[in-house]
Each structure stands twice: as C-alpha cells, then as structure tokens.
A and B are shown apart, each in its own frame.
Chain A
Amino acid sequence: MLNYISRRLVLLLIVVLGVTIMTFVSMNLAPGDPAEMIAMARYGLENLTAEEVEHIRISEGLDAPVWIQYTHWLAHALRGDFGRSLVTGDPVLQEIIVRAPATLMLALASLIVSLLIAIPAGIISAAKQNSLLDYLARSGALLGASMPNFWLALLLILLFSVTLGWLPVFGYGELRHIILPAVTLGTGLAAVSTRLIRSSMLEVLEQDYITTARAKGLREGNIISRHAFKNAFIPVITVIGLQLGHLLEGTVIVESIFGWPGLGKLLVDSIFARDYALIQACVLLFAVFFVLINLLVDILYVYLDPRIRYEKKG
C-alpha cells in the first residue's frame, strides 16, 4: 500500500511538472507581449505607457529566456513560494487558499447531488429492468450525458431565479447559493453514474450468490440493498473517482456562470488576465486535487472489497 501511495506521489510530481511546463510553453508561444498584457490589466488601457511595460518586464523577470523563467518559478514553488499575482500583486498562495474551499465545497455538494440521483435511479432501473421507470431513468441518463452544463445552468437560472424567483443567481456563503451550481454539476455526473450503477447492478443480480440469498427467503429489497448493492458499487467507485475529475473541469465553467468564488473562476479570470503566476498555481492545485481524489478512491476501494483488503494484510 505504501509502495502504491509513493508511486502515486511520484506521478503527481511528474504531472505537476508536465502541466506547468505546458502552461509556460503556451504562454510564450502566444502572440502578444505578456508584459503589455499585464500592464494593461494593472493600469488599464488609457494609462498604458512604454516605461511601465518595460518596468513590468524587468520586475517580473519576463525578459529572461523561458526556461530560466520556469526554473526560477519552480525553485520558488518548491519552497512554497508561488509569487505574487501579476495583476493584483497579492501573494498567490494566499489567494488560492482563500479560493480552494469554495471549489471543494461545490465539488462535494455536486457529488452528493449526483449520488442522491444516481444511486436510486440506477438501482430502480436495474431492479425493474425494462419497466417504464427503467426507460425513464435511461432516457434521463442519455439526456444528462449530452447536456452542456453551461446551458443547463442557464436553464436552471431561467426557471428557478428568473421565472420562479426561488433561488439567487449569484452569491456565496449560504446554502441557497450552492443549490443551483451543485445541481448543474451533479446532474451531469449523475447521468454517467446512473448508467454505470444500472449495468453493474444487472451484472451482480445474475450472480449465483444472489440466488443463494433469494433461496434463503430474503425479500427483494433486502437482497438489493444488502447483497447486490455493495458488490455493484465497488466497480462504480473507480469510475466515480474519474468522474470527479470531470467535476473539477465542470467547476471552471459553472463557477464562472454563477460567480462562485472558487479556483475554477480564478483560473478563467487569470487566463484572460494572463496572470501566469496565478495560472500556474491553480493548475498545480487542480493536479494535486485530481491525483489525491483518485488516491482516496483507490483506498476506499480497498477498504470496501474484502478480497483486496485481506490480500494487502496477508
């Protein structure tokens, strides 16, 4: 297990190196002068002067070759110093630490929404195969998997904020603020999970041990909740872990729409501002989250499946 975790951490390191290098390369391949962009972001178009641009170029080290800029950044990052935002001048680390909880909260809330939908839908769909409910669940899943989340977000706003006036569009801090973004992200995830849980349940319900359980006289509900679900859920967990990655992707757009003050919105804003100190740090944090989530999922998997659990012990 330890061996496995350390391998994961090495992978994390490589991923961080990879994506940050790619960010640097993209930054420098882009047309336009980063120093000018930053100056524009800081002082606005009207106050832009050549001296200021030059000043920024030198003070931010943008005159050095790319690889020096990168190693410079890396050396500092390894010491926990992610620099200052090129636009606001605030320390990046602080900015990110302030923003991270919002994204994690949104991701968690979305995951809860998706499981609240997918678990019952998947189970009912499998238990009542080819019934009306099954068709409804499957159609819903197909629809959900093809639904652009930014469109869904706008439709939800249209219905619940504009027409009914029940929920606010923007805001942060109260439960009612998280509902629309979490539902937007959660339903997309639920679509995929429902299909998975359904097919996994169907496979499990065919197993011999289910017949054994039925022959004991257990009720169908008991068989599904106690004997089938745990078996069916184990393979689903891995995929849900992967799906969480897509959830992080989704936060980028959904946070922008709902003005949710998380990492996703921060990343988008900093990309348009070309604030690459912030971009690098956001990208790095997303990589850390993604790898850690997958690590957690794998550990959960081991915990749930006695076959693996005991192999590791023995």
Chain B
Amino acid sequence: MALLSIRNLTTIFNCEEGQLKACSNVSLDINPGQTLGIIGETGCGKSVLGMSVLRLLPANAVINGQIMYKNQDLLTLPDKEMCKVRGSEIGFLPQSPSTSLNPVLSIGEQLTEGLQLHRGMIKEKARIIALDILRSLGLKDSARTSAEYPHQLSGGMKQRVLAAISISGQPSLLIADEPTKGLDAVNRIQVVDLLRQLSRKTRASLLLITHDLKVAAALCDEIAVMYSGEIVEKGPAEQVLNNPLHPYTQGLVASLPERGLYPIPGHSPGLLDDSPGCRFYSRCPIGNEKCKCQPIINREVDGVHVRCLYIDQSGGAQQRIYGRGFQSEAG
C-alpha cells in the first residue's frame, strides 16, 4: 500500500505566452519508509511536481489528476484541511537555505511555530522540543542558535535549521527540493548525511528532487527520471542507474564528469511545446519520425518503466548509446 500515490498529474501554468505544461501525466508511488528520487535537468518540472503535491504553486497554476496520500486525494481537500497536511503529514525541505528562512524572525520563533500548530504544544514545551531537535541535527549550541537570526548562521547551519523545521511536525513524508543545489563536494556529503539522518530518525518516506545523480544513487530506493515534464523512466535505483534504458537516462549517466562529461547535445524543448510524440525526440540519437508523431506508451522491462518506442519488450536487446552503466565505473 503506497503512502503517496500520484496518478496522471498534470500541472499547467497559464502565462501570457500560453499554457506552460510543467508536469504532464505523471504517475508515481512512494511506499512507507522508502526514498524516491526524481532526477532531471533544471527546468524539467521536477520541483513543480514537488510543489504540486504540497499545493504551493502560484495562482496561475492548474493541477489536474490525483494525488492520493493515506487514501485521501490532496487535490480535492479544502484549503483548511490542506494546511493541516502541510508540515504535519508532509514536511518540506526547500532548495536554497540562504533565502528560505525569514530574516526578521529568530530561529527559535520559526522552529516552534510548527510544533505549536501541529502538535498543540504550549510555547515553553515547544521551545524545549525545538532545542532537542536542533541538537539532534548536530547544532550543539542549540540554545544560542535558537536565539539567533538567519543572517548570523552559516549556510550549513541554515540547512540544518530548515531540516529541523521540516521534521518538527513529525511528517510521514518529506519532500526535499534540490537540497544539494549549488553546494561544493564537501557540503554535498554533509547534506547527504543529513538526509540519511533525517530518514533514519523519522522513518518518513522521502521524495528527493535532485539533478545530482550521485546524491540520488546514495540515497534512493527508487528513481524516476523526468524530462520536459514527463517521467521517462522509473524503477529501482540501482537498475535505473546501472542499466539505464531510456536514451535520455543513458545520456544523463554519460554526462557525469567521471564518465567523460559527454553532454547531451541540444536543448530540451520549451514546456509550451505540445507535440504528441516523444519529447526527447529532437536530441535523441535513435529517434525517428515515428517518435515525433506517435504518442508514447510506457513499457515495463524487469520492473523498470520506460517511455520509449525502441525499448525491446524482452529487455535485453536495447541499444547501448552512450556507453556503459553507472556503477561499473564507480568501483
């Protein structure tokens, strides 16, 4: 029984230029305690996917489909009920720690809010628990941190504070939006540790949105690869990364620095483009006219779902376009 089950999620932004389809027909499942990674390039719609689940998109966004969480459809919940879900059922770890904390409220004030709201604590109790959470996330001098303001903290500390906020409501699902964006290698390892710590401590499921394949490899049980608003491949993490089936996933793996940094040629199509066929067609080395015009149906190969016409049903004979898999080089 999945904790979160997304069915045919389509998110459209009504802009001056037209309708921008940031997510189209996305279907995903996350089981309790499991970590699902959504990987893809910047602008592929993966953050919009996360924000659609939380229903925190600008007013010009229209979300269609179904987002079943613990057997209720989040998209049909009244606003008031949705507020109760945010923070207490679904925690959110935002992508840029430097701008995601309110500059005029102290850390303590920002952290106790959720505790008071979702766990019905009085201020004093919330304060004590908040200090505990901060300490458990490695902020040793938690009393001092709690009294400080965001501009007094380092980037790493802010991220820990945000992590503390995200788990303060004891959620069953955490959504982490690009937690390693713009970080150097050392900090990235720390964040990966932090996320591991979080999922161990809370036993919550994690929806990890990232463009970083290594972070995904280190943390995820399942991986879904997103391209231009669509999920093109999803399956167990090891299988997807070691034996990528979709030409795009293969391209992503091949573009890793240790794989020789072969970038995928071309640009992803604008999200305004609404042609029926494969969205990767223009950049795909094996694509042809058929891919361009024909709607693509997901195929399943050994538990991996792939959205490509040229994936053999047997799963064995697919073309190797960009070289070998992910792990073979890692050793």
Contacts and interface: CB of A to CB of B under 8 A. Distances in A.
B256 interface: no
Given A215-B54, A216-B114, A216-B169, A209 B101 contact: yes
A207 B99 contact: yes
B113 A218 contact: yes
A215 B56 contact: yes
B101 to A, nearest CB: 6
B296 interface: no
Interface in B143-168: 149, 151-152, 162, 165-166, 168
Interface in B23-82: 54, 56, 59, 79-80
B103 interface: yes
A214 B103 contact: no
B106 to A, nearest CB: 8
Contact of A209 (B79, B83, B91, B99): B99
Contact of A217 (B102, B106, B114, B152): B114
A81 to B, nearest CB: 47
A304 interface: yes
A217 B85 contact: yes
A207 B100 CA distance: 8
A209 B151 contact: no
A231 B151 CA distance: 14
A213 B117 CA distance: 12
A273 B131 CA distance: 70
Interface string A22-46: 0000000000000000000000000
Interface in A264-314: 304-307, 310
A177 interface: no
Interface residues of B, number: 36
A212 interface: yes
B203 interface: no
A227 interface: yes
A208 B87 contact: no
B103 A212 contact: no
A208 B181 CA distance: 15
B87 A209 contact: no
Given A216-B165, A217-B84, A306-B149, A211 B118 contact: no
B78 to A, nearest CB: 12
Given A217-B86, A231-B104, A306-B151, A208 B99 contact: yes
Given A209-B103, A215-B94, A310 B151 contact: yes
B88 A217 contact: yes
A219 interface: yes
B87 A219 contact: no
Given A209-B103, A211-B100, A212-B162, A218 B83 contact: yes
Given A208-B99, A211-B56, A307-B151, A217 B104 contact: no
A212 B101 contact: yes
A234 interface: yes
A215 B169 CA distance: 11
A219 B83 contact: yes
B103 A307 contact: yes
A215 B162 CA distance: 11
Interface string A80-110: 0000000000000000000000000000000
A230 interface: yes
B136 interface: no
A224 to B, nearest CB: 13
B295 to A, nearest CB: 35
A234 B151 CA distance: 16
Interface in B90-148: 91-92, 94, 96, 99-106, 110, 113-114, 117-118
B175 to A, nearest CB: 8
Contacts of B83: 217-219
Contacts of B103: 209, 231, 305-307
A216 B104 contact: no
A212 B169 CA distance: 13
Given A213-B102, A216-B86, A208 B94 contact: yes
A214 B104 contact: no
Tell me which of A129, A211, A218 has the highest count of chain B C-beta atoms within 10 A of its own C-beta: A211
Contacts of A230: 104-105
Contact of B117 (A211, A215, A217, A220): A217
Interface in A181-225: 207-209, 211-220
B118 A217 contact: yes
Contacts of A208: 94, 96, 99-100
A218 B87 CA distance: 8
Contacts of B59: 129
22 contacts: A129-B59, A208-B100, A211-B94, A212-B94, A212-B102, A212-B110, A213-B102, A215-B92, A215-B94, A215-B166, A216-B86, A216-B117, A217-B84, A217-B87, A220-B79, A227-B102, A304-B104, A306-B103, A306-B106, A306-B149, A307-B103, A307-B151
Interface of A: 129, 207-209, 211-220, 226-227, 230-231, 234, 304-307, 310
Top 5 A-B residue pairs of the complex, sorted by shortest distance between their CB atoms: A217-B87, A215-B92, A217-B86, A208-B99, A216-B87
